[in-house]
Structure 1
Amino acid sequence: MPFVLPLLGLAVFAQGTSEFMLSGLLPDIARDLHISVPAAGSLTSAFAVGMVIGAPLLAMLSMRWSRRRALLAFLVAFLLVHVLGAVTTHYGVLLATRFVAALANAGFLAVALATATAIVPPDAKGRATSVLLGGTTMACVAGVPAGALLGELWGWRSAFWAVALLSLPALLAILWSVPADRAPQLADAGPGTRGELRALRGPRLVVLLLLGALVNGATFCAFTYLAPLVTEVTGVGAGWVPAVLALFGLGSFVGVGLGGRLADTRPVPLLVAGGAALLLGWTVLALTAGDPVAALVLVFVQGALSFAVGSTLVSQVLYAAAGAPTLGGGFATAALNVGAAIGPWCGGAALTAGLGFRSPLWVSALLTALALVLAGAARGARRRTVRHGAPSAQDAPA
């Protein structure tokens, strides 16, 4: 793997930490800015909306720039809005910085995915993807607990300063390691924005994006409500919550590594077996959440399975979007964040309906089941197409 990939992963780590760290900082922010906790929670919603909107739009904008210029522009913007967020005393300004930070994050990740897959051999997209997404999983394992600890010691603003400082070495690394080439569509007479948009209409690609949204929705539905599950159902103390969240993050790190090893050579068996195991795992966890040992084991296992399947789906999107190397990463990012927004909303709706703290796990199982049904229907349709004629490149098996 080229040395620039772990450096891009460092930037993704900083951005993932920023995305997830507010879960441990909201009460402190609410007290400091004299707002309600739900109003502080809107900061998380603003980030999610910015990620969904920003991924495809900024991926299109970046097509007019070299990848080096785009990565630098997005990372500088991300760094500066965190500095502004760290010093502001106005809720509206902080809300705006979260939205802009998400736009920059989405644009950076889309271009980073395109850059990573362009500088590795054509059959190594899965490994390249796993290196970048490893930054996100490490944010769950180390970045989020570290942000919470900084908030406890020196207040929530220190966590924003830490994210800004963490972005600096990644910025220098991009300056040093990413070549200053021309815009991709100008350098190699690529398809341009319209050509890439046409390439994104392939049925296989649409199915992969939907699968990514459903699997990520299941993942973040369960992850969002792990804290009340382990305190109210499993019966462990609140002091165990950071450890349980870190255990899920450690599982996700292992899963990304596993996905990176198999996504390029055996993606279909991994997706089929991993999807079935995910459905079984969410069901068993919902049934056995009252047993601390079973719950802790399954939290780790589900974190690993969720990210092994999710990272493999991202790599398959990039393979399927060979005719849209820039926008493919943008739409993959958007699909994951649609899931990250819809999943917790569905879990919250189940809790509001009075279905109990196990209900988000059943929602995760339902979303995974829908993904399996969709995958099966798509595979059946592809087989029927093959019987009646040769499939197109977009419809060819992974």
Structure 2
Amino acid sequence: MPFALHLLALAVFAQGTSEFMLSGLGPAIAHDLGVTIPAAGRLTSAFAIGMVVGAPLVAVLAVRWPRRPALFGFLAVFALVHVVGALTDSFPVLLATRVVAALANAGFLAVALATAAAMVAPDAKGRATSILLGGTTLACVAGVPGGALLGALLGWRSAFWAVALICVPALIAVLRSVPAEPAAGVRRDLRAELRALRGPRLRTVLLLGALVNAATFCTFTYLAPVATEVTGIGTAWVPALLALFGLGSFAGVTAAGRFSDARPARVLVAGGGALLLGWVLLVLLAGSVPATLALAFVQGALSFAVGSTLIARALYAAFGAPTLAGGLATAALNVGAALGPWLGGLALSSGLGYRAVPAVSALLVALAVVVTCVARPVRGRGTEEAAVAG
């Protein structure tokens, strides 16, 4: 794999850290800027909305841009708004920076996925995708706890400065390591890319991605109270539990990179079935500390293995529209990331108890399995992919 892919993953790490770190910084931001904690929670919602709405829209704008300047521009904007966020004393300004950061993040991911697919062999998109998404999983393992620690020791603004600083070597790497496109490669036809998105396989893969990610974030969002209220784990051990989930997600993405190109159907069917079984087991065994710890790792691995494989399938299904496919895949995953916690919250507000959270995840994966069996969008390499592979 080209070393430039790992450098792009560094930028994805910074962006993933920014997306998730506010979960531990909300109270400090609320106190410092004189707003309520629910109001501070809108910072997370603003980022999610920006990602969902912005991913396809920004991808459309980026279709005709050379990839290296586009990557540099999106990442530079992302870093700059974090500097503004670290300096501002205005909550509305901070809220606006989250929206702009999400738009820049969405654009960067869309172009980065297309760039990664173009830098590798036609049948290696899955492995390239896994390297990029490894940055997101490492953000869960190290970036988010690190941001929370910085916030506790030096104040919430230090976490924003840290994200901006992480972007600096990634900016340099984009300029030095991402290959420049030949002039002919820049003249991408937007209408041709839009036509390439019409296939039913792409729509099905995007639906599956949203369902699987909804299941993932449904339980991940409420994993701490599930562990403390049902499992009986002390609050001091919750970060270790979340880190186990993050380590599992990194392992899953890495494993998917080895198998998702050659055996996508096996990864998705077997992985989806195992993922469904794991959520059901968590419902039944959430009262056991060893079982909860083991399932946190296993479900993190399975969730991200299946999720990253689906992103690669989106790139294969729309091989003629890599930038727009990357934008739509980003949007679909963020739809799931917003839908899952909302459904989990509905179950809790209905008085069903914390075991209902993994039960909702199980139902979402069960629906994905049904869709897979009906539509069968992930059979080996399709005719379009074969044409690309030559």
CA contact (8 A) 1:205 1:394 kept: no
Residue 322 of structure 2, aligned match among 312, 322, 325: 325
**1 CA distance for matches of 2:135 and 2:107?**
16
**2 CA distance for matches of 1:355 and 1:160?**
37
Q: How does 1:1-398 map to 2 (within 5 A)?
A: 1-181=1-181, 186-187=184-185, 190=188, 192-379=189-376, 393=384
The letter of the residue matching 2:185 is A
**1 CA distance for matches of 2:122 and 2:386?**
19
CA contact (8 A) 1:262 1:270 kept: yes
Task: Tell me the SS of whatever aligns to 2:48.
Answer: helix
The letter of the residue matching 2:281 is V
**1 CA distance for matches of 2:187 and 2:118?**
15
Task: Tell me the SS of whatever aligns to 1:65.
Answer: coil
**2 CA distance for matches of 1:3 and 1:394?**
25
Structure 1 alignment gaps of length 5 or more: 384-390
The letter of the residue matching 2:4 is V
**2 CA distance for matches of 1:222 and 1:395?**
38
**Aligned-pair distance for 1:180?**
3.2
**2 CA distance for matches of 1:351 and 1:173?**
45
**1 CA distance for matches of 2:374 and 2:248?**
30
**2 CA distance for matches of 1:189 and 1:241?**
50
**Aligned-pair distance for 1:359?**
1.3
Task: Tell me the SS of whatever aligns to 2:321.
Answer: coil
Deviations 1:315-351 (A, max 9, x none): 1111111111211111111111110111111111111
Task: Tell me the SS of whatever aligns to 2:322.
Answer: coil
Per the normalisation by structure 1, the TM-score is: 0.94
The letter of the residue matching 1:20 is F
**1 CA distance for matches of 2:179 and 2:258?**
27
**Aligned-pair distance for 1:382?**
10
Deviations 1:19-45 (A, max 9, x none): 000111111111111111111111000
Number of aligned residue pairs: 385
CA contact (8 A) 2:33 2:91 kept: yes
Task: Tell me the SS of whatever aligns to 2:179.
Answer: coil
Task: Tell me the SS of whatever aligns to 1:326.
Answer: helix
Task: Tell me the SS of whatever aligns to 2:344.
Answer: helix
CA contact (8 A) 2:6 2:132 kept: yes
**Aligned-pair distance for 1:125?**
0.5
**Aligned-pair distance for 1:188?**
6.6
Query: Percent identity among equivalent residues?
Result: 70
Structure 2 alignment gaps of length 5 or more: none
**1 CA distance for matches of 2:94 and 2:346?**
27
**2 CA distance for matches of 1:247 and 1:264?**
26
CA contact (8 A) 1:129 1:314 kept: yes
User: Which portions of structure 1, spanning 4 or more consecutive aligned residues, are displaced by more than 3 angstroms?
Assistant: 391-396
Deviations 1:9-28 (A, max 9, x none): 00000000000001111111
CA contact (8 A) 2:117 2:125 kept: yes
**Aligned-pair distance for 1:273?**
0.5
**1 CA distance for matches of 2:9 and 2:147?**
18
**2 CA distance for matches of 1:221 and 1:16?**
18
The letter of the residue matching 1:277 is A
Per the normalisation by structure 2, the TM-score is: 0.96
| Partner in structure 2 of residue 386 of structure 1 | none
CA contact (8 A) 2:252 2:302 kept: yes
The letter of the residue matching 2:32 is D
**Aligned-pair distance for 1:199?**
1.1
Q: 1:207 to 1:228 in 2, by over 3 A?
A: same
**Aligned-pair distance for 1:3?**
1.0
CA contact (8 A) 1:65 1:182 kept: no
**1 CA distance for matches of 2:335 and 2:385?**
23
**2 CA distance for matches of 1:211 and 1:117?**
21
**Aligned-pair distance for 1:299?**
0.6
The letter of the residue matching 1:165 is L
**1 CA distance for matches of 2:9 and 2:224?**
28
**1 CA distance for matches of 2:216 and 2:276?**
11
**Aligned-pair distance for 1:353?**
1.1
